[in-house]
Amino acid sequence: MAIQFVEGGATAAQGFTAGGIHCGIRKNKSKPDLAMIFSSVPCAAAAVYTQNLVKGAPILVTKEHLKDGAARAVIVNSGNANTCNADGVETAGKMCAAAAKALHIDENDVIVASTGVIGVPLPVEPIENAVPQLSSRLSKDGSLEAAKAIMTTDTVMKNLAVECTLGGKTVKIGGIAKGSGMIHPNMGTMLCFLTTDAAVSASVLNTALHTAVDQSFNMVSVDGDTSTNDTCALMASGLAGNPELTKAEGEDYEIFAEALLQLCTALARMLAKDGEGASRLLTCTVTGAKDEKNAKTAAKGIIQSSLFKAAMFGADANWGRVLCALGYCGAETDVAKVGVSFSSRAGQIKVCENGAGVEFSEELAKKILTEDEVTILVELGDGSAQATAFGCDLTYDYVKINGDYRS
Catalytic amino acids? 189
Q: How distant is the alpha carbon of residue 194 from its chain centre?
A: 10
Phi-psi region at 187: left, alpha or beta (left = phi > 0; alpha = psi -120 to 50): left
**Contact at 8 Å (CB) between 191 and 229?**
yes
**Contact at 8 Å (CB) between 134 and 166?**
no
**Contact at 8 Å (CB) between 250 and 211?**
no
| Nearest CA-CA partner of 21 in 102, 133, 178 | 133
| Phi (first) and psi of residue 377, to 5 degrees | -105, 120
Report the alpha-carbon distance of residue 183 to residue 220 in Å, rounded.
7
Q: How many CA atoms lie within 13 A of 47 on its CB side?
A: 32
Give, in degrees to the nearest 5, the angle at Cα 206 between 268 and 6. Answer: 45
